[in-house]
Amino acid sequence: MFYLVGLGLFDEKDISLKGLECLRNVDKIYAEFFTSHLFGSSFDKIEELIGKKIEVLVRGEVEEEHVFIDEAKQLDVALITGGDPLIATTHSDFLVQCSKKGIDFEVIHASSILSSAPAISGLQGYKFGKVTTIPFPDYNFYPKSPYMAIEENLKSELHTLVLLDIQAHNNRYMTVNEGLEYLMSIKDDLDYDGLINEDSLAIGIARVGSSDVVVKAGKISSLIDFDFGGPLHCIVIPSKLHIVEAEYLVEIAGASRDILDDV
């Protein structure tokens, strides 16, 4: 049997009771932390809670070797990952492989940034459009697609959740500040007046699921130098606001009361 178990957002306490019971009863546990990372916990704490040793896999072992799937033919094997386990398309492929090989499987879900960040932003979940991700730029790699995705959502009066690049193997996690700088750099390269600029409203979010979560709303020009603290970070770019959304951003996220005049 193969179990795909989500750990949730921030620390070992986010593991569901169902997930904990499963992990305590399987024969072998593997973990991958390159698609997500529990910053409020340590590997030792997770092992202590479960009461078993965990083998951490590198990216190649997860995406190419799939040893844990072959072992699931004879043993009860679990793969644990941060967030909800099926958000990463890599993980859904494991279930396809299990089905082809006649291996039974079960998915144990957990909290995800895709639901938690829109929720803590105070914006209405059904008004979000396409999710986009800002990557770390590299030589000859500076895609404009994140900016374009936000523009398309704005044209349809939809909010945008902007995820920020994670390079766990390099201990490198993009900040809200870097993400906003990226968007402004794209704006400067456009041959037209883009819909997102320094005066646009944005929401910076840090450490969702923790006791010291930060939700800060304001113009991009003011957020770009704001200290959001440690990772993980993400950004929300709001579209047209409902009065309830605007009041939340003012009272909870510190936005200027001026935004109430536009709703």
Other C-beta atoms closer than 10 Å to the C-beta of 202 total 26
Q: Are residues 117 and 239 in the same domain?
A: yes
pLDDT digits (tens, 9 = 90+) for 126-181: 999 999 999 999 888 999 999 999 999 999 999 999 999 988 778 899 999 999 99
Whole-number Å distance between alpha carbons of 118 and 96: 30
Confidence of residue 27 (pLDDT cuts 50, 70, 90): very high
Residue that terminates a domain, selected from 81, 108, 135: 108
Determine whether 51 is exposed, middle or buried from the number of CB atoms within 10 Å of its CB (0-12, 13-18, 19+): exposed
CATH number, domain of 93, equals 3.40.1010.10
Angle between helices 17-25 and 43-50 (to 10 degrees): 80
Closest CA to 110 of 80, 65, 136, 135: 80
**H or E element that contains 32:** strand 28-32
CB contact set of 184 (below 8 Å; sequence gap of 6+)? 197, 198, 220, 224
Higher-scoring residue by pLDDT: 43, 253 = 253
In this prediction, residues 185-203 reach a mean pLDDT of 95
- 21 with 80, same domain: the answer is yes
Do both 257 and 127 map to the same domain?
yes
Boundary-marking domain end, from 78, 108, 138 = 108
Cis peptide, bond prior to residue 75, ω within 30 of zero: no
pLDDT at position 89, please? 76
CA angle 13, 79, 85 (to 5 degrees): 65
